[in-house]
Amino acid sequence: MLIDAHHHLLTEPGYADKLVAACHDLGIDRVCVFGAGPQNLPYGIADNDAVLAAMQAHPDRIIAFAYFMLGKDRPQLIDAFVARGFRGVKFIYPTRNYDDEAFYPVYERVEKHGIPAVFHLGIVARTPTDKEWDIHNDRHRPIYLDTLARAFPAMKLVGAHLGNPWYEEAAMVCRWNTNLYFDLSGSTLKCKSPQFLGDLLWWTPTTRYRDPLRRNAWEKIVFGSDVHAHEIHDVLTDYRRVMNHLSLAADVQNKILGGTMAALLGL
């Protein structure tokens, strides 16, 4: 199963249909689609209602993730999202660091429902409303997911962009936490070499310093595109280029491209 774990639904007319067509052509079986809050709605990203409608229109292809505003939405909204049919949740623009205990009631509900949570990590794109929404990049550091992975050991956490530019921090917390995963979406696959990524994600089941479950480091990486539907093929090509350059085993490649995310989604 091939799964795109990171995609934003756009307000472009007919975008869901275009996305499904692109996935069909590329052999992508499922695509995790995120909504947006008021910060991004003016810039062409659809809201949660549109994401849910897209999944209802394409239930065999689209998996809806709800956007939750940390520090603004009430924790009970997680329960409401799950009741409506959302299969995961996306976090970005927190009003405090991700691991602030004020957010723990939210994470408790995410853990209870067993849904994966995708966290934007690293520098966020700049918009004209950044001052209005108090956008603060330091709140998106990978180290905060280390705290959460330990505090909520049954929670399924996916950190976006391998923490760009805090790559080493992301790789280290990835190795120590069995419930923490990352995608390589964004500019990383364009600006960093396969060898750079191989040096970061170096451990295997037989190395002395390894994943507690004796997994290959790359079994903790999932495929995510985070681009327009007509550009997904380019990101998929980049993933395959890196995997082949590093001579990753076929079973590990299959987990990167879908197997790991399928397990997180319970498919």
Structural domain containing residue 55? 3-265
CATH of residue 77's domain is 3.20.20.140
Percent of the chain past pLDDT 70, that is, above it, reads 100
Could you tell me what percentage of the chain is helix, strand and coil, using 3-state DSSP and rounding each to the nearest 5?
45, 15, 40
Instruction: Look at 209 and 32; give whichever has higher pLDDT.
Output: 32
Euclidean distance between CA atoms 222 and 243, whole angstroms: 12
Question: What pLDDT band is residue 178 in, cutting at 50, 70 and 90?
Answer: very high
Residue 163 scores a pLDDT above 80: yes
Euclidean distance between CA atoms 199 and 171, whole angstroms: 10
The neighbouring-strand residues paired with 221 are: 182
Euclidean distance between CA atoms 109 and 79, whole angstroms: 7
Residue 71 scores a pLDDT above 70: yes
Check residue 42 and give its pLDDT.
Answer: 67
For the chain, what is the domain count? 1
Cα dihedral 24/30/36/42 (nearest 10): 0
Q: Taking all residues of the chain, what is their mean pLDDT, rounded to a whole number?
A: 95
What digits encode the pLDDT tens for the residues 101-115? 999 999 999 999 999
Question: What pLDDT band is residue 133 in, cutting at 50, 70 and 90?
Answer: confident
Question: What pLDDT band is residue 217 in, cutting at 50, 70 and 90?
Answer: very high
First-residue to last-residue Cα distance in the chain: 10
Closest of 87, 38, 83 to residue 61, by C-alpha? 87
What digits encode the pLDDT tens for the residues 9-22? 999 999 999 999 99
Check residue 161 and give its pLDDT.
Answer: 97
Euclidean distance between CA atoms 189 and 252, whole angstroms: 18
59-68, 88-97, 203-212: range with lowest mean pLDDT: 203-212
What digits encode the pLDDT tens for the residues 33-63? 999 887 777 678 999 999 999 999 999 999 9
Whether the upstream peptide bond of residue 42 has omega within 30° of 0, thus cis, is no
Say what the pTM is: 0.95
Structure tokens at 197: 């990524």
Euclidean distance between CA atoms 203 and 128, whole angstroms: 42
Q: How many CB atoms lie within 10 A of CB 44?
A: 13
Question: What pLDDT band is residue 127 in, cutting at 50, 70 and 90?
Answer: confident
Residue 128 scores a pLDDT above 70: yes
Check residue 126 and give its pLDDT.
Answer: 86
Residue 205 scores a pLDDT above 70: yes
The neighbouring-strand residues paired with 8 are: 34
